[in-house]
């Protein structure tokens, strides 16, 4: 209860500061009243959905939208808070100076009025995140981007020079609310005509039933060498309550079976080979392995027991912290690791080839895109779906296409 009181007090403080910017410029009582009506409705919806949250049911779309609307109004108000508080850094010392130098001559009106141009600047700046978040909720979550890379390896088998793979990750089917947009994305995947398709975990938020309506959408994905997948932290059903351990176990078994029906070869600490004549690629898939309280069911040694040290290896591992903590130090040398998990936090700024930033960087060393260390590559997919916040701002849903090339990269 205390945390809700603290949250509400902070929200009110932010609201009062934001209101000052609006009130400085607007005198219409209907507009000012609408401000408070929207503010109360948003915070009421959020508290109503999250206070006494039912862990057995898990997060619903209603919860996501309640959170989304809170973010939509709160972030611009925080911008207003920063600007208006910055003005108070000047106003308050001026008021104190007048109090001690003018005394009663100031007639009690010590605090200078807020300046119109400061409020205009504040509202103008705040409009940028407001518009971005509205777009992110309305369009951004289905704004699929195909990102293409060519990666060079001197020891790539000749038969696989030019081999093309598509990676998707973090479908989170329980969050979707537009079947046609998902169908569009699946068609976009097939248009890449890759040799193989990889999915790197989190196909649901919590329960297998979330995926059922989309079975006949995802089973349309096609690649000549097949579809391969691994489990992510959300696939185990750890974030909701179950009536029994048996029910939780059955949910996971149902999920495995449903993935098979879709056409995925689910790798559970296992390996497979893709062959071209006498040459081969080794595919290794581990269960989820993550730091910071996430499940560590992945067993790299077990998954690799049937492959040779000199095989060319592609590893599927949901959480990129696995690559940093375990994979790149392993003496087996995993040429390419494919991960997801971070979503790029669904918020950030990216100018391809120039600039990339997201709050995700404060949590994850490797949070989006291609990385290379110790002669090994990692791709962190930004995710196909979305979770909790029903949108994406600047970090768009991703379909990764990687072409494997033999030889050294020409950097000239």
Q: Give the per-residue pLDDT at 106.
A: 56
Which tokens in the block code for residue 323? 């690559």
For the ranges 45-49, 102-106, 121-125, 149-153, the one whose mean pLDDT is highest: 149-153
Q: Give the per-residue pLDDT at 371.
A: 97
Q: What is the mean pLDDT of residues 204-227?
A: 97
pLDDT at residue 98 is higher than 90: no
Q: Tell me the pLDDT tens digit for each residue of 387-399.
A: 999 999 999 999 9
CA angle 163, 316, 64 (to 5 degrees): 115
Distances (CA, A) of 347 to 8, 201, 383, 392, 411: 24, 20, 12, 6, 31
Contact predicate 318/331, CB 8 Å: no
Q: What is the mean pLDDT of residues 108-131?
A: 85
Contact predicate 316/284, CB 8 Å: yes
Integer Cα distance of 377 and 219 in angstroms? 29
Region of residue 151 (phi > 0: left; psi between -120 and 50: alpha; otherwise: beta): beta
Q: Give the per-residue pLDDT at 166.
A: 98
pLDDT at residue 303 is higher than 80: yes
Phi and psi at 289, nearest 5°, equal -140, 115
Give SS3 for 410: coil
pLDDT at residue 412 is higher than 50: no
Phi and psi at 199, nearest 5°, equal -120, 125
pLDDT at residue 81 is higher than 90: yes
pLDDT at residue 248 is higher than 80: yes
Other beta carbons within 10 angstroms of residue 57's beta carbon come to 12
**Chain position carrying tokens 């309550």:** 241
Q: Tell me the pLDDT tens digit for each residue of 329-344.
A: 999 999 999 999 999 9
Predicted confidence band of residue 103 (pLDDT cuts 50, 70, 90): low
- The residue that leads in pLDDT, 298 or 53, is 298
CA dihedral 329, 330, 332, 336 (to 10 degrees): -60
What's the whole-number average pLDDT of the chain?
93
Q: Which residues contact 99 (CB under 8 A, 6 or more apart)?
A: 106, 110
Q: Give the per-residue pLDDT at 110.
A: 67
Among 175, 165, 158, residue whose Cα is nearest residue 196: 165
- Cα atoms found within 13 Å of the Cα of residue 390, Cβ hemisphere only: 21
For the ranges 1-5, 22-26, 140-144, the one whose mean pLDDT is highest: 140-144
Contact predicate 232/340, CB 8 Å: yes
Burial of 3 (0-12, 13-18, 19+ CB in 10 A): exposed
pTM of the model: 0.92
Which residues partner with 271 through β-bridges?
284
Residue 163, H or E segment? strand 163-168
Integer Cα distance of 195 and 412 in angstroms? 29
Q: Give the per-residue pLDDT at 407.
A: 94
Predicted confidence band of residue 94 (pLDDT cuts 50, 70, 90): confident
Q: Give the per-residue pLDDT at 56.
A: 72
Q: What does the domain layout of the chain look like in residue ranges? A: 2-138, 143-406
In CATH, 143-406 is 3.40.50.1950: no
Q: Give the per-residue pLDDT at 27.
A: 86
């Amino acid at each position: 209860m205390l945390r809700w009181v603290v949250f509400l007090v902070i929200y009110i403080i932010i609201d009062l500061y934001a209101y000052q910017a609006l009130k400085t410029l607007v005198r219409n009582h209907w507009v000012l009243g609408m401000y408070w009506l929207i503010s109360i409705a948003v915070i009421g919806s959020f508290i109503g959905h999250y206070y006494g949250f039912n862990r057995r049911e898990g997060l619903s779309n209603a919860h996501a939208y309640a959170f989304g609307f809170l973010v939509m109004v709160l972030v611009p108000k925080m911008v207003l808070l920063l600007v208006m508080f910055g003005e108070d850094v000047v106003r308050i010392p001026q008021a104190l100076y007048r109090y001690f130098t003018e005394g009663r001559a100031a007639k009690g009106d010590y605090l200078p009025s807020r300046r119109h141009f400061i409020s205009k600047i504040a509202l103008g700046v705040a409009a940028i995140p407001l518009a971005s978040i509205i777009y992110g909720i309305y369009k951004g979550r289905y704004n699929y981007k195909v990102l293409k890379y060519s990666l060079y390896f001197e020891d790539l088998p000749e038969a696989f020079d030019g081999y093309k793979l598509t990676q998707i990750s973090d479908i989170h089917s329980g969050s979707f609310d537009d079947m046609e947009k998902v169908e569009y994305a699946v068609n976009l995947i097939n248009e890449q005509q890759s040799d193989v398709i990889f999915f790197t975990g989190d196909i649901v938020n919590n329960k297998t039933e979330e995926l059922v309506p989309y079975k006949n959408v995802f089973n349309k994905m096609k690649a000549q060498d097949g579809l391969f997948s691994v489990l992510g932290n959300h696939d185990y059903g750890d974030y909701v309550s179950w009536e029994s351990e048996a029910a939780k176990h059955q949910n996971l078994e149902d999920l495995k079976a449903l993935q098979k029906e879709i056409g995925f070869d689910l790798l559970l600490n296992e390996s497979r080979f893709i062959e071209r004549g006498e040459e081969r690629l080794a595919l290794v898939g581990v269960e989820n392995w993550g730091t910071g309280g996430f499940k560590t069911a992945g067993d790299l040694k077990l998954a690799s027991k049937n492959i040779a040290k000199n095989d060319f290896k592609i590893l599927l591992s949901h959480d990129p912290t696995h690559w940093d903590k375990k994979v790149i130090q392993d003496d087996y040398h995993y040429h390419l690791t494919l991960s997801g998990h971070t979503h790029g936090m669904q918020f950030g700024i990216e100018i391809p080839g120039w600039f990339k930033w997201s709050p995700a960087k404060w949590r994850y060393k490797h949070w989006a895109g291609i990385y290379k260390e110790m002669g090994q590559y990692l791709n962190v997919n930004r995710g196909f779906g979305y979770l909790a916040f029903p949108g994406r701002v600047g970090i768009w849903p991703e379909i990764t296409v990687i072409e494997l090339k033999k030889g050294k990269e020409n950097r000239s």
